[in-house]
Structure 1
Amino acid sequence: MASEQNPTPKQHPTSTAGHKITLYEQENFQGLFHEVTGPCPNLKETGLGKVGSLVVHTGPWVGFEQTGCKGEQFVFEKGEYPRWDTWTNSRKSDSLASFKPVKLDGNEHKIILYENPNFTGKKIEIIDDDVPSFHAHGYQEKVSSIRVLNGTWVGYQYPGYRGYQYLLEKRDYKDITEFGAQKPQIQSVRRIRDMQWHQRGIFHPTN
């Protein structure tokens, strides 16, 4: 049940098991809020009209611009997100309408991205690394299909972890519709690792 009481994010106890995210209607953790610990296919059913800020206590999570976990994706790891611009820079949509927890797949990470659908054409293989620019690794081609062999990843439309985000879990994606893209363009990827704390909810590359 949403409440008009507004404890600060620091007052929320951190869960030691499972997933937990607190959604606030206004920026900077103000106004009505609602805690979510499992799939939330329609945010409006919780009583919140919109999401202006959020705190991920245990995660990770993926949010969607449309109900039913559809539309543009936004990946949230443990941390505080006081405004819209702390979780996206695409600005195409300013709404979050559904959420689901993301299951992590161990500590090893391996992904292969292919130029053409059905795992054909040129490819780039990445093992246990974050890659802020495919171009810097000599891969100039589009990405139309993906095999995630280990781990959970986020793909980005542009270099430097910018643009549209695509959650990539352990499975095969034979064409762009299966990972939610409208065009075959991914130019950077990074791993989602267990319970990392990124200051203010933003990922900062370490390389």
Structure 2
Amino acid sequence: MLCNHTAALSFFCFYKAKWLGSGTAVTGDAVSCQHSHGQGRGNQTPGLPPHLLPAVWFIVFIHPVQPFLPQIIFYEDRNFQGRAHECSSDCADLHSLFNRCNSIRVESGCFMVYERPNYMGNQFYLRRGEYSDNQRTIGINDCVRSCRMIPQHGGSYRVRLYERFDMSGQMHELVDDCPNVQDHLSMSDFNSCNVMDGHWLLYDQPNYKGRTHYLRPGEYRRYSDWGGVSPRVGSLRRITDFN
């Protein structure tokens, strides 16, 4: 509610300054109204005009600013039929909620879904959209056992790839999408990595194809830590399509 009070106060101060000449000051993130009180009744600053009060009340009390809330909905049957189960955060074991999942709708945000509990097995990246048939549109059967919500990120992106285990050997750093690691870095086998900034998708084939692996900020001391079955890295891209 604090942001709405700030918006209302900004609204109040703007019209006081524009229409009433009140000496209003608006500085940085803080909004302050500094009124000039002269001698005598004629120099006093009047209050907010009555016809503006409904707008201020609407901003403060009726139309709160809602935070961004990612949401994914799992359906037991194809074409969004059957029982539905909503999720807005990480869930290590979806089996307790449903036995099968044949269609998915992502209302907002981005998610990774996994074939096994505890974020294991094949991974699939889902952004906002409708997936009416998991087998046809995603390539996953009806066994969706865990999911991760991918947090929004608005800063820089940086990942370091290492030739050997435990972040040792030759190192290469990427700050942008790389559709072909072999062509760009003259090597494609990396046994560890360190995600310094942002969230990434790693693919075992060039041009963002093949097995997909979600990389969160942190250290991956061996390729099995990101779910890989080999050290082969074909391409990498930043996750930027939050909505």
| TM-score for the superposition, normalised by structure 2 | 0.65
Contact 2:117–2:145, Cα closer than 8 Å, also in 1: yes
Task: Specify the alignment match of 1:142 in structure 2.
Answer: 189
Cα deviation code 1:121-145 (max 9, x no counterpart): 3333211x22121123143230211
Root mean square deviation of aligned Cα: 2.1
- Classify 1:45/1:181 alpha carbon distance in 2 versus 1 (closer, same or farther; 3 Å): same
Q: Does 1:55 align with 2:105?
A: yes
Q: Does 1:97 align with 2:145?
A: yes
Contact 2:155–2:198, Cα closer than 8 Å, also in 1: yes
Tell me the SS of whatever aligns to 1:136: helix
Identity among equivalent positions (%) equals: 29
Contact 1:107–1:193, Cα closer than 8 Å, also in 2: no
Task: Specify the alignment match of 2:3 in structure 1.
Answer: none
Matches of 2:152 and 2:131, distance apart in 1? 21
Contact 1:104–1:194, Cα closer than 8 Å, also in 2: no
Q: Does 1:80 align with 2:167?
A: no
- 1:115 corresponds to which letter in structure 2? E
Cα deviation code 1:9-50 (max 9, x no counterpart): xxxxxx85222101112233222221112232222221x322
Cα deviation code 1:89-143 (max 9, x no counterpart): xx6x66211112122343311111122112223333211x221211231432302
Aligned length: 177
Where does structure 2 lack aligned partners over 5 or more consecutive residues?
1-65
Task: Specify the alignment match of 2:155 in structure 1.
Answer: 107
Moved more, 148-157 or 138-147: 138-147
- 1:83 corresponds to which letter in structure 2? D
Query: Which is helix-richer, 1 or 2?
Result: 2
Matches of 1:141 and 1:53, distance apart in 2? 35
- 2:94 corresponds to which letter in structure 1? L
Matches of 1:97 and 1:40, distance apart in 2? 9
Tell me the SS of whatever aligns to 2:144: coil
Matches of 2:129 and 2:171, distance apart in 1? 33
Alignment equivalent of 2:88, drawn from 37, 50, 69: 37
Task: Specify the alignment match of 2:214 in structure 1.
Answer: 167
Moved over 6 A (4+): none
Computing the radius of gyration from Cα coordinates, the structure with the larger value is 2
Contact 1:105–1:170, Cα closer than 8 Å, also in 2: no
Contact 2:152–2:242, Cα closer than 8 Å, also in 1: no
